[in-house]
Amino acid sequence: MKIEYHPALGAELEEARDYYDERLLGLGRDFVDEFERQVLAVAAMPERWMIVVGDIRRVLMKRFPYIIYFRILDDGAIRIAVVKHEKRHPAYGRQRT
């Protein structure tokens, strides 16, 4: 399964990782590891996850209060569009393609 990432995703991951590392050294790495586990779960069964609106689906991270938005593209690839804190506005990042 091919996985693509929106260009803004790197900055979102870095911001969250840095935030958690400021709280406890190594916690930022745990955040990134959890993100990667969830992406692998999405790749294994992309249609399992709830549709939010249109063709955008979401997966909740287990250990951290973050949501991952993604799309299944026409060619079957998965496009990870957003990783955001649950308290951010629900529409944040949904316009990303």
Express each pLDDT in 41-62 by its tens digit.
999 999 999 999 999 999 999 9
Q: Domain total for the chain?
A: 1
Express each pLDDT in 66-90 by its tens digit.
999 999 999 999 999 999 999 999 8
Distance, CA of 11 to CA of 17 (rounded, Å): 10
Q: What is the CATH number of the domain that holds 74?
A: 3.30.2310.20
Q: Quick check: is 96 in a domain?
A: no
Q: Quick check: is 93 in a domain?
A: no
| Report field, pTM of the whole predicted structure over 0.85 | yes
Amino acid identity, residue 89?
A: H
Distance, CA of 78 to CA of 42 (rounded, Å): 8
Q: Quick check: is 94 in a domain?
A: no
Q: Quick check: is 66 in a domain?
A: yes
Q: Quick check: is 91 in a domain?
A: no
Check the CA dihedral 27-45-59-74 and report its sign: positive
Structural domain range at position 39: 3-85
Q: Quick check: is 63 in a domain?
A: yes
